[in-house]
Amino acid sequence: AAEGESPEDLKDSSSYLDAAGNVIRRDPVGYVQRRVKELVQACIQPHGTVILGGESLKDLTRRWITDDHSPRGLWNLMQSDHFWPKLALYVFHFGGLILGALGAWRLRRAWPITLPLIGLIGYMLLMHLIMLALPRYIFPLYPVMWVLAAGVWIPRRAQ
């Protein structure tokens, strides 16, 4: 046993691992679907918006679009708790995703430069597919995405 672990701790860990293994063996397709769904949700949820508190910006926007599609409703949406910081996080987040993907595509012929960055992103996403996927664990990839996003502005001749 490792230092500080009692035999009961090891027994509990073993029983949790056995239970997890049984669940995966019973429904491997469901397990993979659940892992992919959690990874996608972690990738499309900007890190930090939940910490700010208040009502979800996605829910407020959805309600404005479906129920109150008026300038007054938009004004109320913009006056909600932490609207502007949350909007900035969404712009940073989806800007990094979209521009990073476009930049990676534009720089594809410069693969000796971009492959390590794309490889890092792929490795991290695969690790989070296997392990726990939360927005805060995906967030460290955003500097890499923004480096790739710079490829959007590089002239075609310079590539």
3-state secondary structure of 111: helix
Q: Quick one: tokens of 56?
A: 């979800």
Overall number of domains in the chain: 1
Does position 132 have pLDDT exceeding 90, yes or no? no
Most confident of 1-5, 7-11, 38-42: 38-42
| Confidence class for position 73, pLDDT limits 50, 70, 90 | confident
Where is pLDDT greater, at 33 or 13?
33
For residue 142, give its domain range: 82-158
| Separation of CA 27 from chain center | 25
23, part of any domain: no
| Confidence class for position 143, pLDDT limits 50, 70, 90 | very high
139, part of any domain: yes
Q: Is 19 left (phi over 0), alpha (psi -120 to 50) or beta?
A: alpha
33, part of any domain: no
Contacts of 20 (CB under 8 A, 6+ apart): none
66, part of any domain: no
100, part of any domain: yes
CA pair distance 150, 8, nearest whole angstrom: 53
Please give the pLDDT value at position 119: 95
Compute the average pLDDT of residues 15-41: 89
109, part of any domain: yes
116, part of any domain: yes
110, part of any domain: yes
Does position 64 have pLDDT exceeding 60, yes or no? yes
Q: Quick one: tokens of 144?
A: 């890499």
3-class SS shares of the chain: helix, strand, coil, % to 5? 80, 0, 20
